[in-house]
């Protein structure tokens, strides 16, 4: 995929090696434009979390180049680059630590040097967008896992970064919590990179998928991925049950149709194909 003159994120030949010499990433080239929503998928140990840490300038490449919003990231510029992206960790306990939810959401804006009035405005906006205003005076560690994730997102929203990086945002959520979180993410007009094992969430939230296994195996749309069983097999991916069921129905009935990716598309397809 060609690069625009300025991208939200650009990686050129990025390699990342651990101290023992093990390569977590091996020659990754990526361009992600401002406003794009991208799913990052692959097996355990594929380097997805490592890549997110690099995109947030928390890790620097062992080899290759990283640019965030057109600026090359170096050891000197990494702290400023990190502030341009908001990182949602897989475990919200890794980023929620203050005695009250309000204090936790305010932590980022306060450390940005904003005045009290602006901090209050941002906190109230973040709490509202994440649907957790009523939790403002609660102790974060008394909340459910899903509520904590929404509080963590409120904290990112309060900082208003240009880029959202999310590591398994729906992992370990019950269906109601998963739906609430997906709705929050759908409401945001931000550049997003979402690492996930849940392809149904990826189908719903993003238009582009990058399959990673230390290197990029595939970069394109979901329909193109569905036509690449070799990539799906190598990356240990499983298509959502809805897609698998309709694929089986298509083979059994001999009906030809473009495979739907979402529930709404499936309903539309079945309404046209069933007598």
Residue pLDDT, tens place only, 195-218: 998 888 898 899 999 999 999 999
Q: Is the pLDDT of residue 1 over 60?
A: no
Q: Is the pLDDT of residue 72 over 90?
A: yes
CB 46 within 8 A of CB 235: yes
Fold type of domain 1-84+171-177+187-236: Rossmann fold (3.40.50)
CB 130 within 8 A of CB 154: yes
Q: What is the DSSP letter of 97?
A: -
Q: Could you tell me which residue, 259 or 220, shows the higher pLDDT?
A: 220
pLDDT tens per residue, range 115-133: 999 999 999 999 998 889 9
pLDDT tens per residue, range 94-116: 989 999 999 999 999 999 999 99
Instruction: Dig out the tokens for 134 from the structure.
Output: 């009523």
pLDDT at 164: 94
What does the alpha-carbon distance between residue 91 and residue 202 come to, in Å, rounded to a whole number? 19
pLDDT at 262: 79
Q: Is the pLDDT of residue 263 over 90?
A: no
Query: Chain-wide mean pLDDT for the chain?
Result: 91
What does the alpha-carbon distance between residue 267 and residue 244 come to, in Å, rounded to a whole number? 15
Q: Is the pLDDT of residue 29 over 60?
A: yes
pLDDT tens per residue, range 157-200: 999 999 999 999 888 888 888 888 888 888 888 999 999 988 88
Residues 6+ apart with CB under 8 A from 138: 100, 101
pLDDT at 199: 87
pLDDT at 2: 56
Q: Is the pLDDT of residue 251 over 80?
A: yes
Q: Is the pLDDT of residue 64 over 70?
A: yes
What does the alpha-carbon distance between residue 28 and residue 15 come to, in Å, rounded to a whole number? 7
pLDDT at 4: 58
Residue percentage of the chain with pLDDT more than 70: 97
**What residues does CATH 3.40.50.300 cover in the chain?**
1-84+171-177+187-236
């Amino acid at each position: 995929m060609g690069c625009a003159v300025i991208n939200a994120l650009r990686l050129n030949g990025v390699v990342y090696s651990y101290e023992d010499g093990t390569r977590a990433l091996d020659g990754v080239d990526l361009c992600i434009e401002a406003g794009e929503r991208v799913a990052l998928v692959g097996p355990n140990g594929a380097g997805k979390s490592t890549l997110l840490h690099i995109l947030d300038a928390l890790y620097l490449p062992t080899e290759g180049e990283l640019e965030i919003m057109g600026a090359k990231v170096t050891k000197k510029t990494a702290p400023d680059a990190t502030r341009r992206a908001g990182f949602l960790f897989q475990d919200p306990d890794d980023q929620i630590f203050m005695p009250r939810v309000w204090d936790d959401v305010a932590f980022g804006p306060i450390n940005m040097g904003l005045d009290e009035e602006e901090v209050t405005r941002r906190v109230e906006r973040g709490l509202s967008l994440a649907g957790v205003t009523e939790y403002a005076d609660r102790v974060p560690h008394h909340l459910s896992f899903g509520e904590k994730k929404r509080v963590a997102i409120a904290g990112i929203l309060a900082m208003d970064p240009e880029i959202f990086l999310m590591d398994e945002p729906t992992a370990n959520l019950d269906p109601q919590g998963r739906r609430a979180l997906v709705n929050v993410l759908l409401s945001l007009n931000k550049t997003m990179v979402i690492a996930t094992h849940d392809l149904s969430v990826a189908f719903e939230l993003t238009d582009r998928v990058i399959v990673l296994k230390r290197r990029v195996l595939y970069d394109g749309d979901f329909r193109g991925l569905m036509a690449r069983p070799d990539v799906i097999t190598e990356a240990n991916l499983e298509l959502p049950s809805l897609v698998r069921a309709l694929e089986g129905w298509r083979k059994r009935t001999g009906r030809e149709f473009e495979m739907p990716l979402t529930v709404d598309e499936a309903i539309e397809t079945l309404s046209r194909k069933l007598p």
